[in-house]
Amino acid sequence: MTSDTTYFDYIKEIRIEGHADTKPPINGGDSYLYNLDLSSKRAASVLKYLREQPVYKKASDKDKSRMDFLFTSIGFSYSRALNDEKNYVHLDSNKIVNDALSRRVEFRIVTSNEKLINLSCQLC
């Protein structure tokens, strides 16, 4: 293993996750589906922004293809709403949603565990 090894090959996915609060739509429709659409658009907007940046636009076709493969966007509606302690309301004893904290975008890097385990064994 050389010292110039990067971890790029160990990334399986870079997920852009959109989240929303629990506020229902003004028209009284289905709150979960309304916020699912909203959170999906929020995540897609960040992905669009990234694709408009010089690092993407000036990338080689091979690197663009790799980025297109890795970057995904997904909306979670209010399924992962947060409370004041920044804990998931669903999993915490404090069930009071903090709307401002719940409206967010997060990046989640999904790794290839098998490749990382092999790397760790090689480094030992």
For 55-121, the DSSP string reads HHHTS-HHHHHHHHHHEEEEE-TTTT-B-TTS-BGGGSS-----HHHHSEEEEEEEE-HHHHHHHHH
Tell whether 4 is covered by a domain: no
Tell whether 43 is covered by a domain: yes
pTM: 0.81
Tell whether 3 is covered by a domain: no
Tell whether 112 is covered by a domain: yes
Tell whether 73 is covered by a domain: yes
pLDDT in tens, 63-122: 999 999 999 999 999 999 999 999 999 999 999 999 999 999 999 999 877 666 665 666
Tell whether 5 is covered by a domain: no
28: CATH: 3.30.1330
Tell whether 81 is covered by a domain: yes
Q: What is the mean pLDDT of residues 38-66?
A: 96
DSSP letter at 27? T
Tell whether 39 is covered by a domain: yes
Domain that holds residue 27: 11-123
Distance CA 67, CA 63 (A): 6
Q: Which residues pair with 110 in a beta bridge?
A: 13
Please state the domain count of the chain.
Answer: 1
